[in-house]
Amino acid sequence: MLRGDVGPAKYFFVEAEKRNPRDVGNLHDLGVCCVLLARQRFAQMNHAAAFDQLDRAIGYYRAALDAAPGNQACREGLNTALELKGQFDQALKEAQWAAKFIGPSAKQYIYLAKELEKRGDIDGALLRYRQAVAMEPKNPKAHIAIADFLLRHDNEVAALHHLQAAYKLDPTNKWVAEQLATRGATPQLVQTIDGSH
């Protein structure tokens, strides 16, 4: 699959599923194969075959989520397949369900925020990013997610605050250090501002 031989890869994943039908990792990989095949069929203008592959992908992802409801990779794969089918409302409902019943966690709220942002609900997305940070203020990923969002929406001052918080929590994150340096706030300056050394 990694080499792009999706058809043969799918065959081996199907054979593995026959031996262990509830293996979440294998079901995820089957879903990925089907989505990749669907994209190929769309490129070939074979929409019927593409939608067939997307239906299969949705089936595999749902089977995986039945076994492991909190599996983020499967949840995101399911939403990708739904969106490719044009079922945007259903994809959003899946993200909302996950945020409500699997979490609450920063990870689930960040996921929901991204889904809302894709659909143009900027205020709703910002609220979910803020909730993620409020739930887990010591989680650098929550600060990074909201900082990235704020940068995309031209709020550099607020983004800088979250970049500084993320750096304090995880000084090894290269993206955060680069973003701070780009804005003239070097990691050393951030440490001084925060009072840590």
Answer whether residue 152 is part of any domain: no
Q: Is the pTM of this model over 0.85?
A: no
Answer whether residue 29 is part of any domain: yes
**Dihedrals phi, psi of 186, to nearest 5 degrees:** -70, 155
What's the pLDDT score for residue 2?
77
| Overall number of domains in the chain | 1
Contact 137, 161 (CB under 8 A): no
Q: Give per-residue pLDDT as tens, 98-134.
A: 777 776 688 888 988 998 998 899 999 999 999 999 9
Answer whether residue 135 is part of any domain: no
Domain that holds residue 82: 1-86
In angstroms, rounded to a whole number, what is the distance separating the alpha carbons of residues 94 and 162? 28
Answer whether residue 75 is part of any domain: yes
Answer whether residue 23 is part of any domain: yes
CATH code of the domain in which 6 resides: 1.25.40.10
CA distances from 100 to 23, 34, 41, 92, 129 (A): 25, 28, 35, 12, 15
